[in-house]
Structure 1
Amino acid sequence: MSEIRELLEKFEHIANNPREQLDNYLAQGKKAVGIFPYYAPEEIVYAGGLVPMGVWGGQGPIVKAKDYFPTFYYSMALRCLEMALDGTLDGLSASMVTTLDDTLRPFSQNYKVSAGRKIPMVFLNHAQHRKEDFGKTYNARIFKQAKEELEKICDVEITDENLKKAFEVYNENRTLKREFVKLAATHPQTVKASNRCHVLKSSYFMLKDEYNALLKELNDKLKALPEEDWDGARVVTSGVITDNPGLLQVFDDYKICIVADDVAHESRGFKVDIDMSIEDPMMALADQFARMDEDPILYDPEIWKRPKYVVDLAIDNDADGCLLFMMNFNDTEEMEYPSLKQAFEKESIPLIKMGYDQQMADFGQVKTQLETFNEMVQLNRF
């Protein structure tokens, strides 16, 4: 158990100290590239011998970004731009930026005219009609353009051979994360909700081969333990991101076991592997993107697919309910809420909606909601 504790503490330290990680890689003579949400193909970065560094906002002041955005834009985007402007991201050789929602589109242009002067932007305008052949062809082309731009900015060569090696590393990474998520659900006493988040979050700040070795060690040690009993609530979480330290402490204090998640910062990002049988690496990336579903940010003509998917996550993992964290001013997620609410009501599974902001420090309302939820869980069990 002490070895597991040491590994969890290592993941936590990395998750909470991305600047230290970046400085360590720079000291080794490596170049790093910022990977902004969502679905940027960071395998291209890795294949160039570069370090992908995830940029998903975080806690901290928002001052300079207000010169470019109105204050009612969701906090993650504001904080991402602030970090690029205030020096937090200094040392990056480039940033990879996508445009998959109505905030990320202006974000890309605001980044270009501000922080882009210091940290060049590699721009990806994904095709939302991603499943049709023409959509795959288009996405393969923009991935190729991103590769060529990255080669020019960072003075590297990204070969097909290295791309395929990167695909193997990243497929292993996704497999290990999916395995860890299941192990965390069956070992809730050993892996608290905060531990689970730190393990997954640290992946954004490590070279994936290094992370894979560490996560494999943790998974092997968890598999050697018997499954653990749990008298707290078992939940599915949903939303964009839930890594606020105050929120994680509330999860632990109120004995919340996350048995599965529909969180963009977590499981949504590693659901789909790359098909290694596809010869053209860019088409393989486009095919992977085509098979990504159940995400409000991605267009899908089957509009009722995600509600069923999230409900099934709760049913299949014997969850007591779903905690939905609705990021303030995120219109994309808000528009999906009515259909999600209806699906959970149909199955008589509690769905607790909570307003969320990365800058939140007072979680009094969340505590009240969780107290009520825990009482409901206990009554249902007896």
Structure 2
Amino acid sequence: MSIEVLLNQFKEASDHPYRRIKAYKEQGKKVIGVLPYYAPEELVYAAGMVPMGIWGSNSKTIAQAKEYCATFYCTIAQLALEMLLDGTLDDLDGLITPTICDTLRPMSQNFRVAMEGKLPCIFLAHPQHRKPAFGLQFCVDQYTHVKNELEKISGAPITDEALRNAIKVYNRSRAARREFAKLAGQHPDVISAVNRSAVFRSSWFMLKDEHTDLLERLNAELSKLPACNWKGKKVVTSGIICDNPKLLQIFDDNKIAIVADDVAHESRPCLVDAAETGDPMMALAQQFADQDYDVLLYDEHSNQNRRGEFVVKLVKDSGAQGLVLFMQQFCDPEEMEYPYLKKALDGAGIPHIKLGVDQQMRDFGQASTAIQAFADVL
């Protein structure tokens, strides 16, 4: 199968997630909506159901959700609720609502109230102190609550054997996505910014084994290609999400390759695998505990600016010439962290640009001008 054909399959899934939902429902599967971030999708998979990522929308306008949301809530959360209210996600059988950021924490109750009597909403509170024994146990307890609620929806128990198998499926997926990120950075002449995003984005809308089967084929084809002599610029992207094709097309139009990313919607969830042996619930809790260098996670050593140093190393290791930070509007954690990230980048002599984005943006004229100017600086 050619690279073009494979990329078109990822694009189809990325552009039309609602078709994926309907297709799974027609197969007799139940579908569980999963909001960001770090929800244990393995539990949904082990229950024989389909985890469906909900990361807002680039095409919808916030209307009904205004009745439930403060205007300063980020558009990812508001548009997730909008789709639940306007019927777009009526085929879902349940919803997992993590509370890991300042918006999703209160927003979880908005989802519960808005969906009362319509859709089971499963509350998930991650521990702030995730590494000590008490944090791990709290995480196991929370995941057990999610497991119990999923069993009610599926009508069958989630066995340890099924969960270990799900962990293996997800570890394989994470490995394939890590490999793709590396290969895409080596072949920007073949993998455009738009196509790169579609590959990652589609992973939220497909069963992971189906997505991995396609991705491993794509990786195999990319690994056969000769080295690319890229004449354009190379950057690393950072932020919560940047999946708008119109915005990413600006990078392609200006010959700016994305050679690596520090994006919550893309590579961050792929960095840490879970143990495939032992207690599978503890393995998932430990996997969350092992996550690091994320603006959304508590860092007891934050005074050392470890995350800033991590991003600097990522830029240097990737061979990028600079960093583009997509700052989600009204995202307090990102806004508070920015001065420290800027300090680390400036100290390492790495040029960067900060672009304010949200999913209600329709005019990218200013962003285009800023990106073009940044390319000239590089």
TM class by shorter chain equals over 0.9
The residue aligned with 2:25 is 26
Q: Distance in 1 between the 2:171 and 2:116 partners?
A: 31
Q: Give 1:115-194 correspondences, 5 Å limit.
A: 115-194=115-194
When normalised by structure 2's length, the TM-score is: 0.98
The residue aligned with 1:287 is 286
CA drift of 1:39 comes to: 0.5
Q: Distance in 1 between the 2:344 and 2:238 partners?
A: 14
Structure 1 unaligned residues grouped into runs of 5+: 378-382
CA drift of 1:120 comes to: 0.8
Q: Distance in 1 between the 2:101 and 2:337 partners?
A: 14
Whether contact under 8 Å (2:256, 2:375) holds in the other structure is no
Q: Deviations over 1:325-365 (max 9, x none)?
A: 10111111100000000001001110100110111111112
Structure 2 unaligned residues grouped into runs of 5+: none
- Cα RMSD after superposing both structures: 1.0
The residue aligned with 1:380 is none
Q: Deviations over 1:79-116 (max 9, x none)?
A: 01111111111111101110011100111000001124
Q: Distance in 1 between the 2:14 and 2:49 partners?
A: 19
The reply on whether 1:332 has 2:336 as its aligned counterpart is no
Whether contact under 8 Å (2:48, 2:154) holds in the other structure is no
The residue aligned with 1:367 is 368
Query: Which residue type is aligned with residue 373 of structure 1?
Result: F
When normalised by structure 1's length, the TM-score is: 0.97
310-319 or 153-162, which deviates more: 153-162
Q: Distance in 2 between the 1:361 and 1:251 partners?
A: 17
Q: Distance in 2 between the 1:319 and 1:127 partners?
A: 35
CA drift of 1:154 comes to: 2.6
Off by >3 Å, runs of 4+ in structure 1? none
Q: Distance in 1 between the 2:14 and 2:149 partners?
A: 29
Query: Which residue type is aligned with residue 14 of structure 1?
Result: A
Whether contact under 8 Å (2:57, 2:79) holds in the other structure is yes
Secondary structure at 1:92's aligned position in 2?
Answer: coil
Q: Distance in 1 between the 2:61 and 2:364 partners?
A: 19
Whether contact under 8 Å (1:93, 1:154) holds in the other structure is no
Q: Give 1:1-382 correspondences, 5 Å limit.
A: 3-59=2-58, 60-277=60-277, 279-303=278-302, 304-377=305-378
Whether contact under 8 Å (2:32, 2:92) holds in the other structure is yes
Whether contact under 8 Å (1:47, 1:158) holds in the other structure is yes
CA drift of 1:370 comes to: 1.4
Q: Deviations over 1:189-215 (max 9, x none)?
A: 111011000011101111111111100
Secondary structure at 2:145's aligned position in 1?
Answer: helix
Q: Deviations over 1:59-85 (max 9, x none)?
A: 211111100112221111110111111
Secondary structure at 1:248's aligned position in 2?
Answer: helix
Secondary structure at 1:136's aligned position in 2?
Answer: helix
% of aligned pairs identical?
51
Whether contact under 8 Å (1:236, 1:260) holds in the other structure is yes
Secondary structure at 2:237's aligned position in 1?
Answer: strand
Q: Distance in 1 between the 2:358 and 2:231 partners?
A: 29
Matched pairs, number: 375
